[in-house]
Structure 1
């Protein structure tokens, strides 16, 4: 009897151990806790002011700069505060359907749905923030948000308008430094391709990328195609197309103000006018290939002349290389002369 009782006791212990392991396993699956990232131990929450500054000028980006239908501008900003186990988007990873819809069309409903589901599933998202669109390539938008130790990261996305599926943004910027919050963070922003549309130029028609590519940063030499609107082979690096500044706000008893609607005053660049004017990206002239040689014109028995032409694809700007000759001629002898 004693042996039987011991066997039952061991069986019961194993049963409870398995149940406990399964329960813990489910908990770990629903709320992953990364161990390879620094933990934030700040005891209080922090409020930050976010200022997005567009630096998309015709001087800095002269190639195919959009001036109408529509002119260069920025969409509204959509962002989240979150923990390290969540990513709104990641470089060299596939864009979600929500990021795709926002990068291509500026529609945020699906992206917000994904954020909401992530918050419910793994409790990794703390808050959603937004800022109004900038009606122009330069200008500013502002908003404020709150973070705390468990959700000390910020991610956001802003669509480049017009474009096939291009955007700027930040992925998982940590605002915490050990046991305290960073006072100021300033980041230069560069264009990204969502990998869902195959257009090369700002005004390219919608042409779905099949199969979908991963999110990649657009550079002065990538994609390596002369038609690419950001293709500047003479540059080692593109100038920043935008900038974001994050400033810790001193706590008061006042309610955080909501972002203001875009107006003429907050669309004008402030504090960056001199800096923007100093950026003058040289744009070399681009010409087409030569046409075939024309008919040989001349008297029978004598040498004649024939011509070929080419035309300008892109006019030079900002002291870029001048256009070469657009017409050539050479001596020839008339064929089929009677």
Structure 2
């Protein structure tokens, strides 16, 4: 008896599961029809524009139901979205359908009264084609099938089949501002120098909804990032934001994130990337930075905060520069859309601080929101315009021998570092104001007591402006056209905030926002000067010498020359 009861129970369970699964399919036959669907003859087809068997999560697509000839017409239609079934986590014996996204009607349609996730005709006028929108579901929903019914009359109608059914699965690649596939086997021998340029386009004209009322308030933070190895992650969707990214996204403060990057220089990171952010009346000014890559550190990650915002930022993560054919990417322009750091639950630019607890993972800012307090209220992804663009350009390459070649030739003997005429066989990182402290002969910081700019106020003290950098750019036809920069630092309790000094004690000093907005701490200007055609060769020789560059000082710094001279004298002794 027990065995028969068990068999009956299993049969009943299978019947219920089958019934529940099949009941998720909607009856799309025309109203009043008593006939069965005719086999599709190919005269009508369903298309999802911009999708090639895959969809990007939360992306809005245009769906077209059209005829394939010049004569056919129809009076009724139903387009439905169906997701895959899965076990209910609360009741594994029950099957439930996942969210297939949302279909939205246009002028010739309306939401269906009888089918979920469906759109049908709003009138019985003859039609040759119809359009509607489909917003794809969030990530992790698997495949979605769009099915169409098209009726020429109550008795003649078609559904399903290849022309009227489209199955789309989640595209595991990412949107515009995320790297293509990572080349884990990058074998390019030459090293490369790149320039990255950020141009913001967040403005009242382009993004008018709930744009901050005060024109002086919106600004972009400094651009901060790194060129790094494939096993290093500064930030990525699905990961929790670090303290540095949280501080950047919520307060447009880059200090903590820069410190996190500096700690990893030489251990997964080659170059700290930084460029000056812009605010009132300068929002559209470009921000530029130069960085170096090699076949170990061939990815870049950058971030730029939107201020004010809950915790929103722009950027690219793990963007691959080493192409599949083992050459360096020449140039790329990338549209940037907002990311959510997952640390604040505000929904608009000027929302009050609402800490997200527990912290969420980094993800896209919610588009097509149904909250009227959101800047993206009922917005289609296709209508969202970029908040900025990132332009990555290869400036030059530095010829290097591949490691395999060196091994075959027996390898060059390692030069002892104690010889004064040879300070190291490896080429240093790109000379940068962000990497090297002002170092004296004893290896300790030799900076004189910090001066205060007399033109600054007591409320917002700053150091005086440093010297202009040398003109950076490419030498072409005897003329170098580029830019040069200088900087100063905000002082908080006598500490130069954001000035790198490895010998200084860690601090969490933050510059008051009104001081950041009122006083620039970074200036950049275009420059032009004559140059020798063989200057690049001279530069390679100079860079092969591991020399420490004093921040704010040019290559010909007397302090650096004195430092080298003292080291050489000590080595001789």
Question: Which band: TM-score by shorter chain?
Answer: 0.5 to 0.7
Aligned partner of 1:125 among 223, 248, 269:
269
CA RMSD of aligned residues (A): 2.6
Aligned partner of 1:214 among 361, 365, 390:
361
Contact 2:339 2:363 in 1 (8 A): yes
**Cα distance in structure 2, aligned partners of 1:258 and 1:251:** 21
**Cα distance in structure 1, aligned partners of 2:341 and 2:484:** 29
Contact 1:89 1:171 in 2 (8 A): yes
- If you compute each CA radius of gyration, which structure gives the higher value, 1 or 2? 2
**Cα distance in structure 2, aligned partners of 1:88 and 1:94:** 10
SS in 2 for 1:99: helix
Paired residues for 1:218-233 under 5 Å: 218-222=365-369, 224-233=370-379
SS in 2 for 1:196: coil
**Cα distance in structure 2, aligned partners of 1:146 and 1:264:** 22
Corresponding position of 2:208: 62
**Cα distance in structure 2, aligned partners of 1:44 and 1:109:** 32
Contact 1:54 1:241 in 2 (8 A): yes
Note the C-alpha offset of 1:145.
Answer: 1.1
Which consecutive residues of structure 1, in runs of 5 or more, have no partner in the other structure? 1-35, 266-338
Corresponding position of 1:83: 229
Corresponding position of 2:337: 190
Note the C-alpha offset of 1:68.
Answer: 1.3
Paired residues for 1:290-305 under 5 Å: none
What does the per-residue CA deviation read over 1:121-163, in whole Å, with 9 as the maximum and x for residues that have no partner?
xx21111010001224433111111111110000011010111
**Cα distance in structure 2, aligned partners of 1:230 and 1:71:** 20
1:42 matches 2:178 = no
SS in 1 for 2:353: coil
TM-score (norm: length of structure 2): 0.37
Aligned partner of 2:250 among 95, 99, 104:
104
TM-score (norm: length of structure 1): 0.61
Contact 2:268 2:297 in 1 (8 A): yes
Q: Which has the higher contact order (CA 8 A, sep 6+)?
A: 1
Aligned partner of 1:199 among 342, 346, 366:
346
Corresponding position of 2:279: 135
Give aligned pairs, total.
227
Q: Relative to 1, partners in 2 of residues 1:242 and 1:69: Cα closer, same or farther, differing over 3 Å? A: closer
SS in 2 for 1:47: strand
Corresponding position of 2:82: none
What does the per-residue CA deviation read over 1:153-204, in whole Å, with 9 as the maximum and x for residues that have no partner?
0001101011111100000001111421111011100001111011111111
**Cα distance in structure 2, aligned partners of 1:233 and 1:176:** 36
Which consecutive residues of structure 2, in runs of 5 or more, have no partner in the other structure? 1-181, 399-429, 431-469, 473-482, 487-521, 527-573
